[in-house]
Amino acid sequence: MSDILEVKGLSFRYPDSTRRAVADFDLSVPQGEIVVLAGPSGCGKSTLLRAVNGLVPHMYSGEYGGEVKVGGVAVKDSSMRDLAQRVGFLFQNPENQIFMFTVERDVAFGLENLGVPREEMRTRVDEAMRLLDISDLAQRAPHELSDGQKQRVALAGVLAMRPQLVILDEPTSLLDPKTAAELVALVARLRRELGTTFVVVEHRLDLLVKVADRLVVMNEGRKVMEGTPRDVLFRDEAESYGVAVPAITQVQKMLAKDRLVPTSGLMTPAELAAAVGGGSR
């Protein structure tokens, strides 16, 4: 399977900084994979995302080294217009990318800017709203919607562009637990049905690790840990790098040391309770 995202030896230093925000960073993401980025504030995650969607180096100048490719095309050699069709970006706050007076017009916003023919635009907008289960909101004003609905509207606008890669920047931070779980389930469904590739920055790992293929931890601009969520979260140094290891995983780690539960696979609270209860009989 070909890599949608290739990052090789990426380094970047902002003009007003004495240290590199990202240093010698490598990452390959095949089509259809969900990769979660974690690490403390200031570790370089935001700069890495900017390098993937082209803001670095097109909008942010600085000392740039290495290479980033999306779909085999170098980001630094691509126009922002071209990158907008290759890389979709969902902001932490969906209101930062909702501009129009109705949901339908907002989903079409990016396509209108690209001059997509009206018939194709209609097809793409209807398709995106159907995928996100918001067709019934087409004529609603976005400001009337709940946070979860706004998130879906913003994501529909991203998917209407048919990008090869979708970046989610802390997508659950403004959502209640139920709505956050629904969003994560939606991400898993889009990967399953469309083969969409996701790179997700997230501090609340309890939901994302259940659907992620890989967890990458950054610290001081470098990649310090990488592996399956279970491999990374079970390593003691994960917390030393500012990774918020879910409480249920911490309990599983302790029980696994006493061989009371399996050491493979991250378990849900129900699975953990069943394993402990079964082992005590």
pLDDT at residue number 278: 61
pLDDT cut 90: percent of the chain above it: 72
| Segment 167-188 mean pLDDT | 91
Task: Kindly give the pairing relationship between strand 214-219 and strand 222-227.
Answer: antiparallel
41 closest CA partner among 208, 229, 244, 209: 244
| pLDDT one-digit tens code per residue, 31-89 | 999 999 999 999 999 999 999 999 999 999 999 999 999 999 999 999 999 999 999 99
- Using CA atoms, how far apart are residues 59 and 135, in angstroms rounded to an integer? 35
Contact 91, 169 (CB under 8 A): yes
Mean pLDDT (the chain, rounded): 91
- Residue 281 reports pLDDT greater than 50: no
Token pair of 222, please? Answer: 């470098």
Task: Give me the long-range contacts of 122-125 (CB less than 8 A, separation at least 24).
Answer: 124/160, 124/162, 125/160
**What's the Cα-to-Cα distance from 194 to each of 33, 131, 148, 219, 240, rounded to whole Å?**
12, 10, 21, 32, 36
pLDDT at residue number 264: 65
Instruction: Check residues 264 and 207 and name the one with the higher pLDDT.
Output: 207
- Residue 265 reports pLDDT greater than 80: no
Cβ neighbours of residue 53 closer than 8 Å, sequence gap 6 or more: 75, 83, 87, 89, 167
- Residue 187 reports pLDDT greater than 90: yes
Q: Quick one: how far is CA 212 from the chain centroid?
A: 10
pLDDT at residue number 141: 96
- Using CA atoms, how far apart are residues 71 and 113, in angstroms rounded to an integer? 22
Domains, the chain, ranges and CATH? Answer: 3-101+162-236 (3.40.50.300), 246-281 (no CATH)
pLDDT at residue number 251: 86
pTM listed for this prediction: 0.90
- Using CA atoms, how far apart are residues 179 and 273, in angstroms rounded to an integer? 25
| pLDDT one-digit tens code per residue, 210-254 | 899 999 999 999 999 999 998 899 888 998 998 988 888 888 888
- Using CA atoms, how far apart are residues 260 and 251, in angstroms rounded to an integer? 11
Contact 197, 28 (CB under 8 A): no
Token pair of 208, please? Answer: 């994302």
- Using CA atoms, how far apart are residues 180 and 183, in angstroms rounded to an integer? 5
| pLDDT one-digit tens code per residue, 21-33 | 999 999 999 999 9
pLDDT at residue number 277: 74
